[in-house]
Chains A and B, each alone.
Chain A
């Protein structure tokens, strides 16, 4: 079992839809949680970063962490074609080592 599981997709939704992207993890020692967006042939761009369980909102993006279920989510409201990219979750442990999800390819259809 991988330490971080993420469905690679692709996930295809119509423009304007709410998108839900998810990762599960196995180690309860993981302490901080990040979501990155990566466009083709570009480096990952940090979208959201959180330590604690609960929700964190930034514009159209909401990151949700449920430590009891070892489950994290990224929601995108009012999705746009420009949101089409690969979304990677990254989870950090107490030694500041990052474990990466496989990335989910998201396609927003106009």
Chain B
């Protein structure tokens, strides 16, 4: 069964709106979660690494003020797309390691974000 739950699965909203996406680890504690973005027919692009109790580590070119990440507990990380615009429309996916960092990442089912 699923070990990472992501919500919502699909959201449509107007330009200028802020959107929050939740990522939960089910039945395990995740000190580290990862946020990815995926454009159609492309591979995953790591946006940031979310660390429980500390600031997220963002990849080069990802705007920290645009994509706010909060990892306030060992089972929940949130990604907020602030003042979203049509170019932010994409498929956002979170993941977590079940154990140590060298263990495989397990993914949520993704959130399809459409900004009108």
Contacts and interface: CB of A to CB of B under 8 A. Distances in A.
Q: Is the interface of A mostly helix, strand, loop or mixed?
A: strand
Given A34-B104, A96-B102, A43 B43 contact: no
B107 A44 contact: yes
Nearest to B102: A96
A43 B109 contact: yes
Contacts of A46: 104-106
A43 B108 contact: yes
A104 to B, nearest CB: 10
A49 to B, nearest CB: 5
Interface of B: 4, 6, 41-44, 46, 91, 93, 95, 101-102, 104-110, 112
16 contacts: A31-B102, A34-B104, A41-B110, A41-B112, A43-B4, A43-B95, A43-B108, A43-B110, A44-B107, A88-B43, A90-B105, A96-B102, A98-B46, A102-B42, A103-B43, A105-B41
